[in-house]
Amino acid sequence: MILSKTCNYAIRALLYVATRKSDNFVPVREISQKLDLSFHFLSKIHLILIQHHLTTSSRGVKGGVSLARPAEDITIYDIIEAVDGNAMFQNCVLGLENCSDDHPCPLHHSWSEYRLNLKKIFQEVTLADLAEKINNEQVRLSNITEILD
């Protein structure tokens, strides 16, 4: 797996929040039910997202989480960086410590080019882009077919 499970869940959760596009907070319970994920685990993931200023939250009856800034301004890369870090986009594919153009590993050349593309793919796409696709029912967010009822 390229992304950790935690990161997968984070992306899907934020996409769900983005599709709700209400001014209100979205309860974690609702997200976990709609995406069929563990409520407690998702709560924990949200702490990370809050720490990285991707979401804000409110406790209490009308509480929940919401995006910290417009969905247009949050890329998938932002989420990956917050949860999994950016090692994937920087490190040597063979795990060597000072792999560089000057001291390359055998795969350095092809990999460093590829790595940029990987970053690009995730940076080019915002939550808004994907939320629109989801709302147009062109794509899905969960193993369960219907998530938005």
Q: Point out which residues bind DNA (CB under 7 A).
A: 4-6, 9, 25-29, 38, 40-41, 43-44, 46-47, 50, 57-65
CA gap 24, 21 in Å, rounded:
8
Closest CB 122 distance from a second copy, rounded Å: 8
In the complex, what is the shortest distance from the CB of residue 21 to DNA, in angstroms, rounded to a whole number?
17
Nearer to DNA, 51 or 110 (CB): 51
User: Using CB distances below 5 to 8 A depending on partner kind, what does residue 91 bind out of DNA, a second copy, none?
Assistant: a second copy
With beta carbons less than 8 A apart as the criterion, state whether 54 and 79 touch: yes
Q: Which of 9, 57, 54 is nearest to 36 (CA)?
A: 9
Measured from the CB atom, the residue of 62 and 143 that comes closer to DNA is 62
How many Å apart are CA 11 and CA 136, to the nearest integer?
A: 19
| Nearest in space to 23 (alpha carbons), one of 51, 60, 48, 56 | 56
Closest CA to 12 of 99, 118, 130, 116: 130
Contacts to a second copy by CB under 8 A? 1-3, 5, 8, 11-12, 15, 76, 87-88, 91, 93-98, 103-108, 110-111, 114, 117-118, 121, 124-125, 130, 133-134, 138-143, 145
